[in-house]
A and B are shown apart, each in its own frame.
Chain A
Amino acid sequence: MSFSAYILKRIGGLLLVLLVTSFLVFGLLYLAPGSPLAFILGPRGGTPAQIAAVTQQYHLNDPFIVRYFAWLGDLFRGNLGDSIVYRQPVSDLLFSRAGTTTALVSLAAVIIAVVGILAGTFAALRGGWVDQVVSTLAAIGLSTPVFVVGVALISLFAVGLGWFPTFGVGSGGFDTIWHLFLPAVALSVASAAYLARITRTAVNEERTREHVQTATVRGLSPRLIVRRHVLRNALIPITTVLGLTIATLIAGAVVVENVFALDGLGSLLVKAILQRDFAVVQAVVLVLVVAFVVVNAIVDVLYTFIDPRISLGSKQ
């Protein structure tokens, strides 16, 4: 499949997924009890007249289908709507938070890839006690709740040693990397542990393959064998897992965002769901779906570089 055909197919699939998810999410929100009234009227509530006026203004009592298509219509005109709670255009809310999420997830992705692949490879190649230690650490990493990791990191490195700030995203550039380092580590621990295990298994499997044994028998240097014959082949499962992990981090960073008081998309989504802020929920879900599809498309493209036998969009 040519690259452009692949892109077209992907975009078509994306649009379909977007339509289905937005319908499902809208429907589920609609069915769930509760309303955004408290946030429009304020904590003191309102008179029946005020409640009626607001219900009318925000179309809270319109049938589900009418509201869904109104939203869809706005979307086609490039309008994501206004947040009921924040009284701001949703696009403004998204824009300011997308940056934080992108920075956090990118940093975490780098940590996951570097730590996960190195630790897994190291464990597989060295074996023995190194393997034992890495496997044990990976098990601990996988089973420790992320907020425990976050709180522990803050207590140790922010409060105890004072090396890092306790919260926030900083003022851009290096300051942001410094601020986001602990949250990214907290976010990475479980995924890096998982990736280490996958890498270890994949590398072990490749090492027993015939072409690797042949290369060994031919007396090629172990370093070359590992790099060219073992790691390269092991990269396929590693890339798959890494791609999926990163995509889930985007929405899954909620806990880390709360612990480190970051304004990411995850916490915006959770808050919006609980506040029944429909427009915000829909917009964040759209962004998440797009991100998920894009990350997977990137993984697909990467496959073709790792293994030229794989063609774009193939089922192999």
Chain B
Amino acid sequence: MVSRKKAAGTAAVLTVAALALAGCSGAAKGGASGPAELSLDLNNLATTTPAGTTPVDNVKWNLPYEPSSIDPIFTWNYAENTVDASLCESLMRMKPDLSQEPGLASKVETQDDKTVIYTIRDGVKFWDGKPMTAEDVAFSIQRQTGSSTKSYWADYFKNVASVAVTGANQVTVKLSKADVLFTQAMGSAAGAIVEKAAVESGGQAFGTPKGNLQCTGPYKVGKWDSGKSLTMERNDAYWNTAVKPLVKQVTFSFIADESTAINALRTGDVDGQFFYLPPAGLSQLQKSDNVTTTFGKSFVFWTLAPLNKDGALGDEKIRQALSLAIDRPALTKVVFQGAAIPAPTIAGPAMWGYQQDTFAEAAKKYGTDPNIEKAKQLVQEAGSPKTPIVLAVQGSSAVHEQTASAIQAAGQAIGLNVQTKVIPVEQFGNIYFDPAARKGLDGFFTTNYSDFADPLNVYAFFQTGNSHDYIGWNTADDQITKALATSNEADRAKLVTDIQDKVTTGLPWIPLAYEPTTLIQNKRISGAVPSFSYLYAPWAVTMGGTK
């Protein structure tokens, strides 16, 4: 359910491949004997697909499960965000290339590091025709602050001291301490603006099938038939008249079973879907003449997160040994069918939103080739612990199971006893924050991602007290605290690469792979945005028919 993932891969190890070029619509054809060999060119992942050219009445899009709510404060996962991206717009907007531009805020000024002034865009209307006011903006931020907020995004608002309407078109946010993540998070669903009156009259039902969601996006909620489908209709009164979506209506289905989804895509019963992990039936899709497959630039990574401070993985040397024993290139080829990139660090190149040269230079020193001899030596130095390392595996997930097997084999090769424990997908999410659910576990796999192009967003997980800090790893606390308050990008990049060094050595999380978005579109349509921005910005406005 929870998806955040990461893989490690340095520029030096990248393989350049013919597939998955931006906008590439020619699906790879598998040989008669098996799936096509994919190799991804990390520098050439798609950010767009060719825009659609003809009007389309209805596009059927599949989600991996039904959203439990579409109130933006509860949209913190793939299905929810895929829907909300077209409905609710944020103060900043994520572009297909993953950079940000002004969204519902036409201008952002930071007076000092602790004061952010948003100028609200003129002429923006909610779906019900009411104009968006500074009041609505202040309210949308305010409801996510404070210790009692229910917002899934609360982490980003923890340093917000006050939100005030300071002019007809102006909202001022004061921070209790400088926080470079806050301003960037306003480009994710955390910065989505909802209508104050609708939230207040909707109460608990706001954002549910019965609740009257009110946002400003190019699509509005049509009908939500609980359990069956959710339809969004084009908002013909959209404030940005330069945007003219060709698709009148998008109907989301909720096919959870992957093979059913693949079949529906192959037959055209469904026109498209985003996959955050390559589906097991990827080769079938690539052989199909009905669909195009596009691999998009993404922040998603696949990682092994150690859990038990007192277990074997609590020992830094054992973590290092296990990490050295893992054959990441083989892992991406076998488990991810080639649709992944071996990851040497937690944060991948897609996250280098500033000072690319600094990050690229820093990444050169890491590799992904296994080193069994060195790993064995580290295990010895750690006293060759015999206690089993128990890894939690998410039920009915091939990627989880196969990765666990690969790591089991890697552990065996260097004398570590790695075992697995299957946890149902519905319970898996509890591991993230419920210490009781972590009992008896030494680590778990997670897909994870940054919400914007800043590696600090994920490296801040390793600050003491963060909910992602499971083993009390505190080696980089000082730099993280400093980086969070550093708005100068050159200075911050230096700090972040320092943190990256410490994280990559200390391995509070063990990087495995970087995961591009897999976008499947029926050939009758084109134009959906294949990059990670499909979670936070309207991805359907460029979509249309191909004939």
Interface residue ranges, A against B (CB under 8 Å):
33-35, 37-39, 41-47, 49-51, 53, 82, 85-88, 92-93, 96-97, 100, 151, 154-155, 158-159, 162, 165-169, 258-261, 263, 268, 271, 274-275
CB-CB under 8 A from B267, the residues of chain A are: 158-159, 162, 165-166
Partner pick for B226 among A38, A42, A92, A155, CB 8 A cutoff:
A92
Contact B430 A38 (CB under 8 A): yes
Say yes or no: is B241 at the interface (Cβ < 8 Å to chain A).
Answer: no
Partner pick for B154 among A43, A47, A92, CB 8 A cutoff:
A47
**Top 9 closest A-B pairs, CB basis?**
A45-B433, A263-B227, A274-B426, A42-B152, A38-B429, A43-B2, A261-B255, A166-B264, A166-B263
Say yes or no: is B310 at the interface (Cβ < 8 Å to chain A).
Answer: no
Say yes or no: is B485 at the interface (Cβ < 8 Å to chain A).
Answer: no
Say yes or no: is B69 at the interface (Cβ < 8 Å to chain A).
Answer: yes
Contact A158 B226 (CB under 8 A): no
Kindly state the separation between the CA atoms of A88 and B270 in the bound complex, as whole angstroms.
27
Q: Chain B 407-440 against A: per-residue CB contact (8 Å), 1 yes, 0 no?
A: 0000000000000000011110110111011000
Q: Chain B 131-168 against A: per-residue CB contact (8 Å), 1 yes, 0 no?
A: 00000000000000001111011110000000000000
Complex interface: stretch among B11-19, B204-212, B335-343, B382-390: B204-212
Kindly state the separation between the CA atoms of A185 and B144 in the bound complex, as whole angstroms.
49
Also in contact, A97 and B254, with CB within 8 A (given A159-B267, A165-B269, A167-B264): no
Contact B263 A53 (CB under 8 A): no
16 additional A-B pairs beyond A168-B253, A263-B228, A274-B425, beta carbons within 8 Å, are A37-B430, A37-B434, A44-B154, A45-B433, A46-B433, A82-B204, A96-B226, A96-B228, A100-B228, A159-B267, A162-B267, A167-B264, A168-B228, A258-B256, A263-B254, A268-B227
Kindly state the separation between the CA atoms of A41 and B77 in the bound complex, as whole angstroms.
12
Also in contact, A86 and B68, with CB within 8 A (given A93-B226, A261-B253): yes
Kindly state the separation between the CA atoms of A154 and B153 in the bound complex, as whole angstroms.
41
Also in contact, A259 and B209, with CB within 8 A (given A92-B226, A168-B269, A275-B426): no
Kindly state the separation between the CA atoms of A38 and B68 in the bound complex, as whole angstroms.
12
Q: How far is the CB of B419 from chain A (nearest CB, A)?
A: 19
Interface size class of B (residues with CB under 8 A): 35 or more
Q: How far is the CB of A164 from chain B (nearest CB, A)?
A: 10
Say yes or no: is B260 at the interface (Cβ < 8 Å to chain A).
Answer: yes
Kindly state the separation between the CA atoms of A268 and B426 in the bound complex, as whole angstroms.
12
Kindly state the separation between the CA atoms of A288 and B520 in the bound complex, as whole angstroms.
39
Q: How far is the CB of A278 from chain B (nearest CB, A)?
A: 14
Kindly state the separation between the CA atoms of A268 and B432 in the bound complex, as whole angstroms.
24
Beta-carbon contacts under 8 Å, B490-530 to A: none
Contact A154 B260 (CB under 8 A): yes
Contact B154 A46 (CB under 8 A): yes
Interface residue ranges, B against A (CB under 8 Å):
1-3, 68-69, 74, 76-77, 147-150, 152-155, 204-205, 207-210, 225-229, 253-257, 259-261, 263-264, 266-267, 269-270, 424-427, 429-430, 432-434, 436-437, 467
Partner pick for B256 among A41, A44, A151, A261, CB 8 A cutoff:
A261
CB-CB under 8 A from A169, the residues of chain B are: 228
Partner pick for A159 among B68, B154, B266, B467, CB 8 A cutoff:
B266
Kindly state the separation between the CA atoms of A167 and B267 in the bound complex, as whole angstroms.
11
CB-CB under 8 A from A35, the residues of chain B are: 430, 434
Kindly state the separation between the CA atoms of A51 and B150 in the bound complex, as whole angstroms.
10
Q: How far is the CB of A83 from chain B (nearest CB, A)?
A: 9
Kindly state the separation between the CA atoms of A41 and B437 in the bound complex, as whole angstroms.
15
Also in contact, A151 and B434, with CB within 8 A (given A42-B152, A274-B427): no
Contact A43 B228 (CB under 8 A): no
Contact A259 B226 (CB under 8 A): no
Contact B204 A87 (CB under 8 A): yes
Q: How far is the CB of A76 from chain B (nearest CB, A)?
A: 23
CB-CB under 8 A from A53, the residues of chain B are: 148
